[in-house]
């Protein structure tokens, strides 16, 4: 499904929710673009932590994308603290796009 390793079933559900968030510049969701590096679901402490990047540091829609992550997760996990961490290491490259993402690009 994605390049994110070792997802629990709850984290896989979160990844599915994040697939609804599309980078408007390329019309591919953020999971298949490879922008999400890590998802941590902590049931005991009611916390969700998402580590992600953007395709470029100057991405004009970066704030919109990260806010969308926050909004989608808050809507589905109302009792949880949501933390979206934006990182630049490792730097995103086109090789991080999943096979599904590549197919979406071909269909554009």
Query: Using CA atoms, how far apart are residues 29 and 42, in angstroms rounded to an integer?
Result: 24
**Residue 43 domain flag:** yes
Q: What proportions of the chain, in percent to the nearest 5, are helix, strand and coil?
A: 35, 20, 45
**Is the peptide bond prior to 90 cis by the omega test (within 30 degrees of 0)?**
yes
Tens-digit pLDDT profile for residues 71-84: 999 999 999 999 99
Task: Give the CA-trace dihedral at 71, 106, 55, 41, to 10 degrees.
Answer: 40
**Residue 4 domain flag:** no
**Residue 100 domain flag:** yes
pTM exceeds 0.85: yes
**Residue 1 domain flag:** no
The pair of structure tokens assigned to 98 is 């999943």
Whether 104 and 32 have beta carbons less than 8 Å apart is answered as yes
Surface-to-core class of residue 28, CB atoms within 10 Å of its CB (0-12 exposed, 13-18 middle, 19+ buried): buried
**Residue 14 domain flag:** yes
**Residue 22 domain flag:** yes
pLDDT score for 41:
97
**Residue 3 domain flag:** no
Distances (CA, A) of 90 to 48, 76, 96: 21, 29, 11
**Residue 82 domain flag:** yes
Residue 71's domain spans which residues?
Answer: 9-107
As for how many domains the chain has, the answer is 1
Which CATH number belongs to the domain containing residue 79 in this structure?
Answer: 3.30.300.130
Q: Mean pLDDT, consecutive 10-residue segments, the chain of 108 residues?
A: 82 97 92 96 98 91 94 97 96 94 83
């Amino acid at each position: 499904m994605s390049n994110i390793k070792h997802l629990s079933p709850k984290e896989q559900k979160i990844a599915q929710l994040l697939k609804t968030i599309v980078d408007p510049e390329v019309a591919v969701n953020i999971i298949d673009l490879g922008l999400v590096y890590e998802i941590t679901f902590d049931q005991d402490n009611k916390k969700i932590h998402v580590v992600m990047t953007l395709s470029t540091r100057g991405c004009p829609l970066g704030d919109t994308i990260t806010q969308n992550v926050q909004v989608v997760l808050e809507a589905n996990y109302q009792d949880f603290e949501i933390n979206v961490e934006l990182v630049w290491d490792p730097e995103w490259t086109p090789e991080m796009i999943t096979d599904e993402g590549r197919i979406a690009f071909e269909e554009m």
